[in-house]
Amino acid sequence: MQAMILAAGRGERMRPLTDHTPKPLLEAAGKPLIVYHIERLVAAGLRKIVVNYAYLGDRIQAALGNGSRWGAQIRYSPERKALETGGGIYKALSLLDPGPFLVVNGDIWTDFDFARLHLADGFHAHLVLVDNPLHNPDGDFALESGILSAQGFPRYTFSGVGVYHPDLFRNCSPGAFPLSPLLRAAMERALVSGEHHPGRWLDIGTPERLQALDRMLKVG
């Protein structure tokens, strides 16, 4: 299975840190956020990685190169204008092998073991959920017996880690569009499985959360 790291976001809430540095290259404990993902993906055996970028994307490519220093093989999917999550993944499909692929948001940090992920036959997506953080108290999706739905309880927050089948994007067209409507439509057909990750996870959406991650990693 190949992997994709979503790194095209502008990071408006992270300003002024992102005025001159793309969000995936912001550092916590002396290491860029995106490098934590690369290292964990390689450790899980996922060495072929696609990275999409838009804002200050040349700096991301210059910093990561071909990924060989981490034992990875990185390819890039540049976007002239950010295509949102769904559009960005759809554009990158031509760079990915046929079959399921892992996607992780570039602006999160987690200790989840990527080697555990798989997509069962017949499903279009498998999402990793976490306990609801303070900034998303109502959660995103309900999880019951390993199947996700847009309604119901208990509700958890989507971690930004998932496995997708190309069939999820079968009826899509090039351009900018979100991923959530595709997932919700697939959930209505019971085509999305999921699991709850009880470990550590942070959405690095603000400078304060970046500082919190920095402190956590330095403590160990």
Looking at the predicted structure, is the pLDDT value of residue 174 above 80? yes
Report pLDDT for 19: 82
Looking at the predicted structure, is the pLDDT value of residue 106 above 90? yes
| Separation of alpha carbons 119 and 127, rounded Å | 9
| Separation of alpha carbons 190 and 155, rounded Å | 16
* CB-CB contact of 123 with 86 (8 Å): no
- pTM score of the predicted model: 0.94
Confidence of residue 15 (pLDDT cuts 50, 70, 90): confident
| Separation of alpha carbons 72 and 113, rounded Å | 17
Please name each of the domains of the chain with its CATH number: 2-219 (3.90.550.10)
Looking at the predicted structure, is the pLDDT value of residue 219 above 80? yes
Report pLDDT for 10: 74
Mean pLDDT for the stretch of residues 142-170? 96
Report pLDDT for 16: 81
Mean pLDDT for the stretch of residues 59-76? 96
Report pLDDT for 159: 98
Task: State what percent of residues in the chain have pLDDT above 70.
Answer: 99
Beta bridge partners, 194, equal 127
Report pLDDT for 56: 87
Average pLDDT, the chain: 94
Mean pLDDT for the stretch of residues 192-203? 96
